Chains A and B, each alone.
Chain A
Amino acid sequence: MTIASIAARVRDGRRIDGRDALRLYTGAPTALLGRLADTIRARKHPSGVVSYIIDRNVNYTNVCVARCAFCAFYRPVGSGDGYVLGFDELFRKIDETRAVGGGQLLLQGGHNPDLPLPWYEDLFAAVKSRYPDFRLHALSPPEILHLSRLSQEPVPVVVRRLVRAGLDSVPGGGAEILVDRVRRELNCYSKATADEWLSVMRVVHEAGLRSTATMMYGSVDTPAERVEHLCRLRDLQDETGGFTAFITWSYQPANTALSGVEATGIDYLRTLALSRIVLDNFDNLQASWVTQGGKVGQLSLAFGANDMGSVMIEENVVRAAGAEYCMDEAEIVRNIEDAGYVAKRRNMTYDLLGDPLFRRRAIPRRTTLAVARPAGDTSLPAELSRYPARSRPGREQRSAPDPRPA
């Protein structure tokens, strides 16, 4: 098929296969990709609303055994820079989130061998007990798989236990590119193969939870592998219908073992537009302003995105890899309205919650995102002593006397 005939097919609302998607991605002018994506966005969201969510992006630990070559955030077991957030610290973060109108934590972290499944269950239960209406959008598929391996419980059992403790929905992190050649090269094959990532998501959806899906492109992947990733997500969505949204972002190379250079702004807009075209069974596409900056983030709205994502409040992972952008609610709304759309708050399932909150009450402006902990604070939360550590450094750390004054 020619580019023109593929474009006509997209305009008619018909599905394109992977081969045609690749042809479009590698051959169509950027403006054509954008127009096609915008046509689909307008068809799916004719009201002209662009949504966003007020929630907080928290990383409960940076200790990780996965050692992905693209990650600048993790610290190996025993590292002096490793941290685990305590329950009280997380409660404080929830209090701060609620104070600016947030109702959810996006909670993800490293594959820490010293945090067993009961730690997560107790944390979730404690959050729900203290904040019954607060939502936990937590634990990407590789984290769930890690807990399955650690606890030696099947994934469905782990998911069931986490849901019983308070898990509400699952973020789509850890997908990177769902092609095993890429995953081997990125050293993330062992944390989850492409099939494993998808099968965890299938279990999550079968358990009645909704999730998001993601794609990190621009490391060692080819255009064909990005298309394959999108097609695999589309297939699972056909099967379960469990994905609420898709988010793509470019690999951030600073301070990583893999190093290299970041994909360009045009690459991002083309990839976003292609995602909107291929993922015809996804309702929502988010802009990734946290990796692209506010300006290209806003331009996402012309290339298929209908959602500006989260105000985040806190961010640790992308910052470690060199990207430091911040948009608070007022700034997100300003960008949405400047692009000619109506800004509405939403929740994780994309139910609209109302107009911008900062117009109803005073909310302090935020110009930088918070971090998990102040630099150098690696203090050990008291409750960790209740849980067995698996690694030797973890066991030694927990048996050592607390150096802090009583």
Chain B
Amino acid sequence: MHDDLTAALDKIEAGAVLEDRDWQALTGGRDLIALGMAADTARRRRHADRTTFVQVVSVSVSAPVPADPIGGDAGEVRLAGRPATAEAAVAAVRTLADRAPGVPVTGFAYGDLDALCGHDPVRLGDLLVDLREAGLAQVASLAADALVDPEPVVGVLRGSGSAVSSLTFGEAVGSDVWRLMQRVKSWDGIGGICRALAPLPSAEPSPPTTGYSDLRQVALARLLVDNIDSIQVDWSRHGPKLAQVALTFGADDVDAVPAVASHDQGWRRSPREEIRRNITAAGFRPVPRNGRFEAVEP
């Protein structure tokens, strides 16, 4: 292993401040596997060989009626898109909760709800309570790159009894991501309201990220952001192969596994057996979970 990389990994282990030279060693160079091994060690310390996954039925918030009945493998029904009004958001949750009894309903980006409430924390808190009472199990995502001060956000979510499924880095790439990781690491209370960190971009930038950069990002997220329990990869967005390899680089949760096999999703897309096969082939133990991050079978 390269000396600079060893020194940087030692500093992370000791909780020391990283300098430019450390960042260069961690985010450049050829020794990807050394970084992955360090992240894997950190991940196994926290989760052993347990790898959770959730099968999701995605439903548009503008037409909250699933095309097919919500099947037995669905662990989450997720409302996708930005609601036109607060009332529409509540109504969509209520509709889905009625149609999918027992399956947690999630949805919305925190920033969209905040905008709907005119960035008024009192109104936002009220809306989050209304959504929870209508059946919303968790807010789907919170974008760290748009967050200047996390303290009020943590306060609003806690005050309303709400939680967030995934903290994301939005569309940040490159050095912006490394800076965000440092910031998130310093955010008190974020781990109490965000169940997982999804470190890869929510939309593919141009030019697209590479395999090396994606895996470095996953590994460094696990090594640096120790105040969030799970590191998450998205099966549908990043593809089964990269998502699977990311499990050996520190990720322990697979989001957005389709609940049903679909021609639209192509033959590679995964029903339950496919995700189980992939997790097992990566050397881990698959554990299905639901939208509340509860294991749904022993």
Contact A338 B210 (CB under 8 A): yes
Query: Does any Cβ of B come within 8 Å of A30's Cβ?
Result: yes
Contact A265 B241 (CB under 8 A): yes
Q: In the complex the two chains form, is B28's CB within 8 Å of A294's CB?
A: no
Question: Are B267's CB and A322's CB within 8 A?
Answer: yes
A264 interface neighbour in B28, B30, B214, B244, Cβ under 8 Å: B244
Q: How far is the CA of A79 from the CA of B197 in the complex (A)?
A: 53
Q: How far is the CA of A235 from the CA of B159 in the complex (A)?
A: 70
CB distance from B260 to the nearest CB of A (A): 17
Indicate whether B215 reaches chain A with its CB closer than 8 angstroms: yes
| Residues of chain B lying within 8 A (CB to CB) of residue A48 | 30
Q: Could you say which of A29, A297, A298, A302 has the most chain B C-beta atoms within 10 Å of its C-beta? A: A302
What CA separation (Å) do A253 and B274 show in the bound complex?
Answer: 14
* Cβ B214 vs Cβ A35 within 8 A: no
Q: Taking A302-B30, A302-B32 as contacts, is the C-beta distance between A261 and B274 under 8 angstroms?
A: yes
Instruction: Give every chain B residue within 8 A of A138 (Cβ-Cβ).
Output: none
Q: Mark B259-281, 1 if CB is under 8 A from A, else 0.
A: 00000001110000010011001
Is the Cβ of A339 less than 8 Å from the Cβ of B212?
yes
Chain B residues with CB under 8 A of A299: 32, 211-212, 215, 245
Number of contacting residues on A, CB 8 A?
A: 35
Q: Which of B33-41, B80-88, B113-121, B290-298 contacts A (4 or more CB under 8 A)?
A: B33-41
Interface contact A296-B211, CB-CB below 8 Å: yes
A208 at the interface (CB under 8 A from B): no
A254 located at the interface, meaning its Cβ lies under 8 Å from any Cβ of chain B in the complex: yes
Interface string of A17-58 (1 = CB under 8 A from B): 000000000000111001100100000000010000000000
Q: Does B207 contact A (CB under 8 A)?
A: yes
Digitize A292-309: 1 where CB-to-B-CB distance is under 8 Å, 0 elsewhere.
111111110110000000
Shortest distance in angstroms between A26's beta carbon and chain B's nearest beta carbon? 12
Q: Which residues of B contact A264 (CB under 8 A)?
A: 240-241, 244, 277-278, 281-282
CB contacts (< 8 Å) of A31 on chain B: these are: 33, 36-37, 40, 248
Contacts of B267 in A (CB 8 A): 253-254, 322
Residues of A within 8 A of B281 (CB): 264, 266-267
Q: Report the bound CA distance from A31 to B34 in whole Å.
A: 8
Per-position 1/0 for A265-288, Cβ under 8 A of B? 111110000000000000000000
The main secondary structure of chain B at its interface with chain A is helix
Nearest CB in chain B to that of A322: its residue: B267
A residues less than 8 Å from B211 (CB atoms): 294-299, 335
| Docked CA distance A335–B32 (Å) | 14
Closest chain B residue to A37, Cβ basis: B33
Chain B residues with Cβ below 8 Å from A339 are: 30, 32, 210, 212
Q: Which residue of B lies closest to A41 (CB)?
A: B30
Determine if A334 is an interface residue (Cβ-Cβ < 8 Å): yes
Contact pick for A338, options B212, B244, B278, CB 8 Å: B212
> A293 to B29, Cβ gap below 8 A?
no
Q: A30-B248, A262-B268, A264-B282 given as contacts; is B213 within 8 A of A338 (CB)?
A: yes
Query: Interface code B233-273, partner A: CB below 8 Å = 1, 0 otherwise?
Result: 00000011110110010000000000000000011100000
A299 to B215, CA, bound (A): 9
Cβ 8 A contact of A265, one of B28, B209, B212, B242: B242
Residues of A within 8 A of B215 (CB): 299
Are B242 and A295 neighbours in the complex by a CB distance under 8 Å?
yes
**Bound CA–CA A48/B31 (angstroms):** 12
A170 to chain B, nearest CB (A): 30
Complexed CA–CA distance, A34 and B30 (Å): 12
The verdict on B189 contacting chain A, using a C-beta distance below 8 Å, is: no
Tell me the smallest distance from the CB of B238 to a CB of chain A, in Å: 8
Q: Are B30 and A341 in contact (CB under 8 A)?
A: yes
Given known A-B contacts A295-B242, A299-B215, A266 and B282 have beta carbons under 8 A apart: yes
Note all chain B residues with C-beta closer than 8 A to A301.
Answer: 30
A334 in contact with B207 given A266-B281, A299-B212, A302-B32 (CB within 8 Å): yes
The answer to the question of B283 belonging to the interface, with a C-beta cut-off of 8 Å to chain A, is: yes
From known contacts A30-B283, A335-B210, A338-B210, infer whether A296 and B241 are also in contact, taking CB-CB under 8 Å. Answer: yes
A364 within 8 A of B: no
Q: How far is the CA of A188 from the CA of B128 in the complex (A)?
A: 62
Chain A residues within 8 Å of B29, by CB:
340
For B29, the closest partner residue in chain A by CB is A340
Which B residues from 30 to 60 make CB contacts under 8 A with A?
30, 32-33, 36-37, 40
Say yes or no: A265-B244 contact (C-beta < 8 A), given A30-B283, A295-B214: yes
Closest A-B pairs by Cβ, 3 of them = A265-B241, A295-B211, A340-B30
CB-defined A-B contacts under 8 Å, sample of 26: A30-B282, A30-B283, A31-B33, A31-B36, A31-B37, A38-B33, A261-B274, A264-B240, A265-B240, A265-B245, A267-B281, A293-B242, A294-B210, A295-B214, A296-B241, A296-B242, A298-B210, A299-B245, A301-B30, A302-B30, A322-B267, A331-B207, A334-B207, A335-B210, A339-B212, A340-B30
Known interface pairs A264-B241, A339-B32; 7 further A-B residue pairs with C-beta atoms within 8 A, sorted by A's residue number:
A254-B267, A262-B268, A266-B283, A296-B211, A296-B241, A298-B211, A341-B30
